Amino acid sequence: MATLILSRPPHDSALLRRIRVTVDGRQVAGLRPGRSASVSVESGQHVVQASLDWTRSEALTVRVGDEETVALEVSCPVRAYWQTWTAPLRALDIRRV
């Protein structure tokens, strides 16, 4: 088994809200600012995406090897307030750290 460590920075926007994280279309975490979650996955390729209400991040494809740990960070940047209306499918950020 491989592991994904999902985290959200402590001083993120939307302080009182949880960002939902899905792996391969299945919700695996709801992260508040400053929190993290560890998720076991099979080795191979996975699609990870973050969402908050109707806004989303772009899908991130991650390949993990057997026994490998990959760290990902999701966030709601200040620009997301504007992008909620102009580009809701790219308002949130997700990146490998």
Other CB atoms closer than 10 Å to residue 85's CB: what's the count?
9
Q: CA-CA distances (angstroms) from residue 89 to 38, 55, 92?
A: 25, 6, 8
Please list the pLDDT of the chain residue by residue as tens digits (97 residues). Answer: 999 999 999 998 888 899 999 999 999 999 999 999 999 999 999 999 999 988 899 999 999 999 999 999 999 887 766 667 676 677 889 999 9
Which residue has 């491989």 as its token pair? 2
Instruction: Report the C-alpha gap between 77 and 82 in whole angstroms.
Output: 10
Q: CA-CA distances (angstroms) from residue 33 to 18, 36, 44?
A: 8, 9, 29
Highest CATH level, class, for 2-96: mainly beta
Contact yes or no for 24/1 (Cβ under 8 A): no
Q: Where does residue 53 fall: left (phi above 0), alpha (psi -120 to 50 degrees), or beta otherwise?
A: left
